[in-house]
Structures are given as structure tokens and as C-alpha cells.
């Protein structure tokens, strides 16, 4: 085995592979091709900013996984994944962003050469990193194979976190606390928003309790005033103004594990509209968290929250949370469970969620959120940051 410093024990990686193979058998596939970088990292340890080119991890019928990617990234696989060098396959640069050939052409011939050309193969049809052309190339190169859509198969295997994963998520929570502490210390009217983001980024990377921070899957989101009606705007270089609410949707990250946490600041005297919304969200959050316990369901949390909003005359027409953990850009969600009516997934100890109680109305927005883990006795909020509106004159 390669001498690599891994984030988890080899036994834990072996357990993950066994769990995936059990899910593969249930799904009726003999092989799996994973292009989601979060799934690649979770299964093998591979960690690199190489997801802008085609890459994947292949789970063959037996033996350890195979890493496949750009040749110049193969050393990254050698240095971060537990995979033996013989199972790290790089393709030459003539395949990179070429109009004449595709990296999956070479992968198809490689799989055929290994005697796997007629297998039932699962692929992640609906994710950000597996293109239509990649799929067409594999289908053309492996005409005797049967392809099945196994989007989410590994994502669901990741749903219940191990003890070590929760260690990393709690460290990420300490980073999130430091980020919000920095916001509270530096925000003021007239400050350029980009300068405040620089402070946030500084705190996020310096980390907390001796543990450094990592880059987030989503950049800081912090629209102000009417712009806060849009949940996914970033920042500009304009001065921050009195009379506006600004929400901060940010995440602490450690070893790729995320702890998102949102809070809202108001410069000047808060409006009644914002104060009323704050009251409703805080009451609703308490109700939702009360329902966050083993044996309950995702929709139980959502329904408890939405019932409080309804009593306050507020309509939120989007989900109110999702599963979180290890992630890469462009999204820190796991793309499995959602806290919304209709999702009857049973909550189990070790599941982790971002309770996204944000409101984005016609001309204002408010975000006060929590990330939590289901525990044997209920739940634990990962971070400890005051929930109330941060007010600065």
C-alpha cells in the first residue's frame, strides 16, 4: 500500500467501499464510475482542484478502486488517495479540452482491455461533473455494456457520518464561529463590502483552535437591502449603508467538511418588517429543532417550522434545509435529503443538516440558520453563535 497520510483510517475506507458495493448489488450494477469529486474523495481520499477536467473513480467488480484523470494530476492521487500506483491511470494532455478526442474514449478502451467491456455500469447521470459528451463517449466505446443511472448511490452511503467525520465537522463549526466573530467586530457603515469579505476569508482560512480552514464549496453570499431578496448574490466594492439588512451565508470548512451558518446584520435601526421576520424565524427554528430527533423524518422538521411561519402570516415556498458533509464547488449540500414536506426520510444518529430557514421576500431578505447533527437523544447544533439580529449603528 502507498505510504500516504490519510484523513481517515484504511479500515474506514474499506468499510466505505464495502458499503458502496452492497448498494451496487442492490442497484444491479457490477461497476461504478464516479465523477462527483465529493464521492471520489469520500471513497478514496483523493483531494485536488482538478474537477474542471474529466476525472473519475471506477469501482470495479473486485479489488480496490481505480483513479482516472489527467496525467499531471496523477501525482496528486498518489499523494492523497490510498490507491496503489498501478490503479492510478492518467490520460495525456492531448485529451484535455480537445474537439477531436475525449478522455472517456481512453477510459472505455482501458475498461474493455481489462475484460470489463460487457458489464453493467452505474454512472452519475445527473451531477455537475459528468457531461452529456462524456456519457456518449463511454456508450460508444463500450457498446456491449449496460449503463444505469446511479446518481446519488454514493451520496446516500455518506448520509450517516462516522465519528471522525463529526470531529472534522465540529472543527469546521469552530471556524464558522470565528468567521461570524470577525464580522461582528469589523462591520460598520461605510465599509466596502469587498473589504468585509476579505476579513471573512481571512478568518475562514486561519481557522480556529489550532486547526486551519479550507476553501468553501460556495463563496460568501452577503446581499444587502433589496438585493437580499435574492439568495445567491455575492459582493461588490460599494460601501455598506445604514437602513439595510445584510445576511451572511458562509461556512466554516475543515478537511473539506462544511459547517454552513447564516446570520443577519442591520446597520442602523431595524425596521419592524425585519424584526417581525426575525421573531417568526427564531420561533420556527426552535420548533423545527425540537422535531429533529431519531425516528422523526425530514418533513417533520420542515412542517414544524412552516407551521410557525404560517401563524405569523409568512409564506416560504422553498425547502428549509438539506444534508451536508464533505463537499467541493459548486455546492456544499450532499444532494440527498431535504427538509421539506414530502421527504419522509427517517432521521438517524450521525445525519447532518443545514437548517436553512432563510426568507427572501419581494424587497428584503433574512437568514438565521443552524447546522446540526442528529444524536441518539435528539440533535446537536454544531456551532454556537447568537441567533439574534446583529445591530450596528
Q: pLDDT (tens digit, 9 = 90+) per residue, 42-84?
A: 999 999 999 999 999 999 999 999 999 999 999 999 999 999 9
| Cβ contact 216:253 at 8 Å | yes
260 pLDDT band, cuts 50/70/90, is very high
What gap in Å lies between CA 88 and CA 66, rounded to an integer? 6
pLDDT at position 2 is 63
Region 300-325: mean pLDDT is 98
CATH number for the domain whose boundaries are 163-392: 3.90.230.10
pTM score, whole prediction:
0.97
pLDDT at position 3 is 81
Percentage of the residues of the chain whose pLDDT score is greater than 70: 99
pLDDT at position 123 is 98
- Examine the pLDDT at 33 and tell me if it is beyond 90: yes
Region 284-307: mean pLDDT is 98
Region 96-114: mean pLDDT is 97
Which cell goes with 119? Answer: 458489464
| Cβ contact 59:67 at 8 Å | no
- Examine the pLDDT at 1 and tell me if it is beyond 60: no
Percentage of the residues of the chain whose pLDDT score is greater than 90: 99
Instruction: Provide the mean pLDDT of the chain.
Output: 97
Which cell goes with 24? Answer: 451496487
Region 129-158: mean pLDDT is 98
| Cβ contact 23:54 at 8 Å | no
Region 330-339: mean pLDDT is 98
pLDDT at position 197 is 98
- Does residue 303 have a cis bond before it (omega within 30 degrees)? no
> Cα 14 to the chain's mean position, in Å?
23
Comparing CA positions, the residue from 65, 59, 33, 258 lying closest to residue 129 is 33
Q: Tell me, yes or no, if the two domains 10-157 and 163-392 fold the same way.
A: no
| Rounded to 5°, angle at Cα 208 from 204 and 210 | 125
- DSSP-derived secondary structure for 43-87: HH----S-TTS--EEEE-SSSS-EEEEEGGGHHHHHHH----GGG
Q: Where are the domains of the chain?
A: 10-157, 163-392
Region 319-325: mean pLDDT is 98
Cβ-based neighbour number of residue 231 at 10 Å = 17
CATH class for the region spanning 10-157: alpha beta
Amino acid at each position: 500500500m502507498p505510504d500516504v497520510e490519510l484523513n481517515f483510517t484504511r479500515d474506514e475506507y474499506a468499510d466505505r467501499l464495502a458499503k458502496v458495493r452492497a448498494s451496487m448489488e442492490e442497484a444491479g450494477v457490477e461497476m461504478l464510475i464516479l465523477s462527483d469529486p465529493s464521492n471520489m474523495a469520500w471513497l478514496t481520499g483523493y483531494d485536488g482542484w482538478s474537477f474542471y477536467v474529466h476525472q473519475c473513480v471506477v469501482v470495479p467488480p473486485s479489488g480496490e478502486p481505480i483513479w482516472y484523470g489527467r496525467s499531471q494530476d496523477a501525482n496528486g492521487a498518489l499523494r492523497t488517495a490510498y490507491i496503489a500506483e498501478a490503479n492510478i491511470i492518467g490520460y495525456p494532455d492531448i485529451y484535455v479540452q480537445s474537439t477531436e478526442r475525449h478522455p472517456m474514449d481512453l477510459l472505455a478502451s482501458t475498461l474493455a482491455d481489462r475484460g470489463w467491456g460487457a458489464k453493467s455500469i452505474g454512472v452519475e447521470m445527473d451531477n455537475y461533473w459528468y457531461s452529456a459528451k462524456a456519457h456518449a463517449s463511454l456508450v460508444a466505446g463500450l457498446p456491449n455494456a449496460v449503463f444505469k443511472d446511479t446518481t446519488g448511490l454514493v451520496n446516500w452511503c455518506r448520509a450517516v457520518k462516522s465519528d471522525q467525520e463529526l470531529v472534522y465537522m465540529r472543527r469546521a463549526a469552530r471556524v464558522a464561529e470565528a468567521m461570524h466573530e470577525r464580522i461582528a467586530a469589523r462591520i460598520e457603515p461605510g465599509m466596502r463590502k469587498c473589504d468585509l469579505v476579505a476579513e471573512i476569508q481571512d478568518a475562514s482560512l486561519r481557522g480556529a483552535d489550532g486547526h486551519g480552514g479550507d476553501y468553501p464549496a460556495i463563496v460568501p453570499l452577503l446581499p444587502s437591502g433589496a438585493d437580499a431578496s435574492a439568495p445567491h448574490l455575492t459582493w461588490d466594492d460599494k460601501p455598506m449603508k445604514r437602513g439595510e439588512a445584510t445576511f451572511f451565508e458562509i461556512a466554516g470548512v475543515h478537511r473539506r467538511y462544511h459547517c454552513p451558518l447564516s446570520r443577519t446584520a442591520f446597520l442602523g435601526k431595524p425596521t419592524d418588517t425585519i424584526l417581525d421576520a426575525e421573531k417568526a424565524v427564531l420561533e420556527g427554528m426552535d420548533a423545527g429543532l425540537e422535531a429533529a430527533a431519531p425516528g422523526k423524518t425530514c418533513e417533520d422538521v420542515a412542517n414544524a417550522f412552516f407551521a410557525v411561519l404560517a401563524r405569523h402570516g409568512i409564506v416560504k415556498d422553498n425547502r428549509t434545509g438539506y444534508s451536508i458533509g464533505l463537499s467541493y464547488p459548486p455546492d456544499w449540500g450532499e444532494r440527498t435529503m431535504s427538509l421539506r414536506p414530502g421527504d419522509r426520510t427517517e432521521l438517524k444518529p450521525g445525519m447532518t443538516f443545514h437548517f436553512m430557514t432563510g426568507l427572501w421576500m419581494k424587497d428584503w431578505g433574512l437568514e438565521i440558520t443552524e447546522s446540526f447533527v442528529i444524536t441518539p437523544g435528539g440533535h446537536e447544533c454544531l456551532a454556537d453563535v447568537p441567533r439574534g439580529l446583529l445591530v450596528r449603528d
